[in-house]
């Protein structure tokens, strides 16, 4: 019953969107009907948004309708954002794993061909438990070649399951090698060696950028909290001084009280602004670290649960230390 509802709701989306979602699910290794997925992620965020609005009304008795609308938009947007992040992480995880083991797979297939096996047998015997989900794809490709399907066409199915440029490149080379009638074993060995060389170069590049990574981590987790804790403390002091009576001495030795009326600067308000900026700073620096280390900003998301809590902890720690050190001298 629920599945039917999801499928009917999914009809609100275009066929192009359906194909896009289907491809993204395939890249992420999620075996589920794309129409059910679309229907669920249309209906469920709306349900969560309405629940949040009801919660605001029952618990806080909010009267501003704009706040209800803003809550609904934030909840639904956050849900969709989280969904897309999870899909991207799964896609990149699978692609990175395949690119890591691909040289070993090609070497095994090449050695099997040299030992006298046919191509389909060589692919089937190259399957290893340590290759995890790629083993299943190799078995599927081998079975398709056993039924008489062209090797390249059987392997091309993998490109719909893994978003890997290296895998696409290897399959294209195998196709070109078959057309030119070259030695497939030598071709696979050459590609395997090229991929290993490329991986070594990438590792050296990542090692050379570790200094920038450390610098960004220190800036996000230590530098920003320290500066904001100092500025919050100083602004709080200035606000207290301005809102008090300041005596003004004139040459006639007459002391006039001068009072400057300004809105009070609450420390809680300044702390809230500082925390918001620190969190945003940690978010963007995490994406920058992902771009530097892996070449993809989305892969830096793993740093967010580390940098955000640590930077907020240091902010309050620095704030209390500064207060304990200077309060006695100033007040």
If asked whether residues 98 and 194 sit together in one domain, one would say yes
Closest CA to 36 of 2, 64, 69, 12: 2
Closest CA to 170 of 97, 99, 92: 99
Which pair of tokens denotes residue 3? 């599945």
Residue 249 lies in a domain: no
Residue 16 lies in a domain: yes
Backbone angles phi, psi at 89, to 5 degrees: -65, -45
Tens-digit pLDDT profile for residues 176-206: 877 776 678 888 888 889 888 888 888 888 7
If asked whether residues 148 and 80 sit together in one domain, one would say no
Whether the predicted model's global pTM rises above the 0.85 cut:
no
Residue 254 lies in a domain: no
Residue 291 lies in a domain: yes
Residue 252 lies in a domain: no
> Would you give the DSSP letter of residue 182?
-
Q: Which residues, 6+ apart, have CB-to-CB distance to 71 below 8 Å?
A: 49, 52, 53, 56
Tens-digit pLDDT profile for residues 148-160: 778 788 888 888 8
If asked whether residues 215 and 308 sit together in one domain, one would say yes
**Total structural domains in the chain?**
3
If asked whether residues 45 and 149 sit together in one domain, one would say no
Which pair of tokens denotes residue 158? 């993998």
Tens-digit pLDDT profile for residues 205-218: 877 788 888 888 88
Q: Which domain holds residue 114?
A: 94-204
Say what the pLDDT of residue 141 is: 83
Which residues partner with 248 through β-bridges? 256
Which pair of tokens denotes residue 30? 């999620």
If asked whether residues 240 and 323 sit together in one domain, one would say yes
If asked whether residues 105 and 85 sit together in one domain, one would say no
């Amino acid at each position: 019953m629920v599945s039917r509802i999801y499928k009917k709701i999914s009809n609100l989306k275009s066929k192009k969107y359906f194909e896009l979602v289907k491809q993204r699910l395939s890249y992420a290794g999620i075996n589920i009907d794309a129409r059910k997925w679309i229907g669920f992620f249309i209906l469920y965020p709306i349900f969560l948004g309405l629940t949040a609005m009801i919660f605001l009304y029952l618990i806080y008795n909010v009267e501003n309708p704009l706040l209800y609308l803003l809550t609904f938009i934030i909840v639904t947007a956050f849900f969709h954002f989280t969904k897309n992040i999870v899909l991207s992480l799964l896609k990149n995880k699978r692609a990175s794993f395949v690119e890591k083991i691909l040289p070993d797979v090609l070497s095994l297939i090449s050695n099997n061909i040299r030992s006298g096996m046919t191509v389909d047998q060589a692919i089937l015997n190259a399957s290893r438990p340590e290759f995890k989900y790629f083993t299943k794809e190799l078995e599927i490709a081998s079975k398709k070649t056993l039924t008489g399907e062209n090797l390249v066409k059987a392997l091309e199915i993998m490109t719909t399951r893994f978003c890997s440029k290296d895998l696409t490149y290897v399959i294209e080379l195998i196709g070109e090698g078959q057309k030119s009638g070259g030695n497939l074993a030598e071709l696979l060995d050459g590609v395997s060696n090229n991929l290993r060389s490329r991986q070594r170069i990438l590792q050296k590049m990542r090692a050379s950028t570790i200094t920038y990574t450390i610098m960004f981590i220190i800036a996000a987790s230590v530098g920003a909290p320290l500066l904001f804790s100092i500025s919050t403390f100083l602004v709080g002091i200035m606000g207290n001084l301005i809102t008090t009576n300041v005596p003004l001495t004139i040459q006639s030795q007459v002391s006039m009280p001068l009072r400057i009326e300004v809105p009070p600067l609450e420390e809680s308000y300044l702390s809230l602004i500082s925390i918001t900026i620190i969190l945003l700073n940690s978010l963007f620096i995490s994406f920058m670290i992902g771009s530097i280390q892996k070449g993809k900003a989305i892969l830096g998301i793993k740093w967010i649960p580390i940098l955000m809590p640590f930077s907020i902890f240091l902010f309050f720690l620095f704030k209390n230390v500064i207060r304990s050190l200077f309060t006695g001298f100033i007040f």
